[in-house]
Amino acid sequence: AQSVAQPEDQVNVAEGNPLTVKCTYSVSGNPYLFWYVQYPNRGLQFLLKYITGDNLVKGSYGFEAEFNKSQTSFHLKKPSALVSDSALYFCAVRDGNSGGYQKVTFGIGTKLQVIP
């Protein structure tokens, strides 16, 4: 069974400092990895994804993520945090090796708080 772990319930970072939100995954085949962001009482918005190719993926709003196969990790990063980045962040995985429908498994989310 596939799974996603987001080990930190909350991450606090000062505005202007770099931020990292951690994600590790477990999947039997090749991983398709995704990051989403959710603002209060809103739906999730797609940030970026890794399917294949370069391990460093760039996405929306200046976010990027690094795929590390040996550590089965896909940490979300941003060089300089903004107060407006404060939100709930979800990592998700899908098994890319299997045919037909493969469900997406989400982590439980990490709340990012950027302090002015």
**Which positions touch other proteins (CB under 8 A)?**
32, 34, 36, 41-46, 49, 51, 90, 94, 96, 101-104, 106-109
Q: How far is the CB of 29 from other proteins (least distance, A)?
A: 11
Judged by beta carbon, residue 69 or residue 103, the one nearer other proteins is: 103
Judged by beta carbon, residue 33 or residue 81, the one nearer other proteins is: 33
* Token representation of residue 13: 């970072």
Buried b (16+ CB within 10 A) or exposed e, 25-56: bebeeebbbbbbbeeeeeebeebbbbeeeeee
Sole residue written with tokens 């709340």: 111
Judged by beta carbon, residue 41 or residue 70, the one nearer other proteins is: 41
User: What whole-number distance in Å separates Cα of residue 26 and Cα of residue 85?
Assistant: 27
Q: How far is the CB of 16 from other proteins (least distance, A)?
A: 29
User: What whole-number distance in Å separates Cα of residue 99 and Cα of residue 76?
Assistant: 28
Judged by beta carbon, residue 99 or residue 116, the one nearer other proteins is: 99
